[in-house]
Amino acid sequence: MEAVLCFTELAGLFLSLTGYVCCLVALFIPHWLAFSSGILINENYRLGLWQTCVVQDVGFSVCQEYQTPLHLPIQVRLGRILVCLSVLIGALGFMASTPALTCVKCMDNTERNVRKMLHILGGLLFSVSGTLTFFTVSYFAYDTLIKFWDHTIPKDIPRWEFGDAMYAGWVGGFLLLSGGCVLIFSQFQVSQEAELKWP
């Protein structure tokens, strides 16, 4: 039973780690939104949470950081706060769940309840982290779609489209949520098996 539990915990931790890396990528790359002006075909613009970039087809790019957060759109300010909070909560999830792994001998078998509670806490933290990222990217996408299909704007005017960072954020949020659920359910499965063997 310990081998199965160890494999399940490692699977949950691996899913969470992969999602965490995707969230870090989404946080730092300046490619949340992109659009081409239509005037200069070889240039397109990219918007991130921390800077905007002009990218040419030859691979040359110029990026500029935002000077002040006060003039930023609400979705960018909200994105900064929620994704940074998601990354912080995910790090706390790793700090809680990694020492409690069945494969790691940081705790004795007598501390099984402590190990179980740490795994549940880590799973909850991963789930909250994934939910925050998923909500942030979905709000960004909703706002972009509303502006894209706005009939008051002439059709010839270019509009923002989804960038790679948004897809990375969606994948990261889903994997963090999945990894957290795997960790939590693995501990409840252990409790049920222990109850069945109790008499």
**Which residue ranges form the domains of the chain, and what is each CATH number?**
2-29+72-197 (1.20.140.150)
User: Is 12:180 a contact under the CB 8 Å cutoff?
Assistant: yes
Structure letter (DSSP) for residue 111: G
161-162/61-65 β-pairing: unpaired
Top pLDDT among 145 and 92 is at 92
Question: CA-CA distance, 193 to 182, in Å (whole number)?
Answer: 16
22-56: pLDDT as tens digits = 999 999 998 888 876 656 566 788 888 888 888 87
CB 86 within 8 A of CB 129: yes
Whether the CA torsion 20, 23, 27, 28 is positive or negative: it is: positive
Q: pTM for this one?
A: 0.83
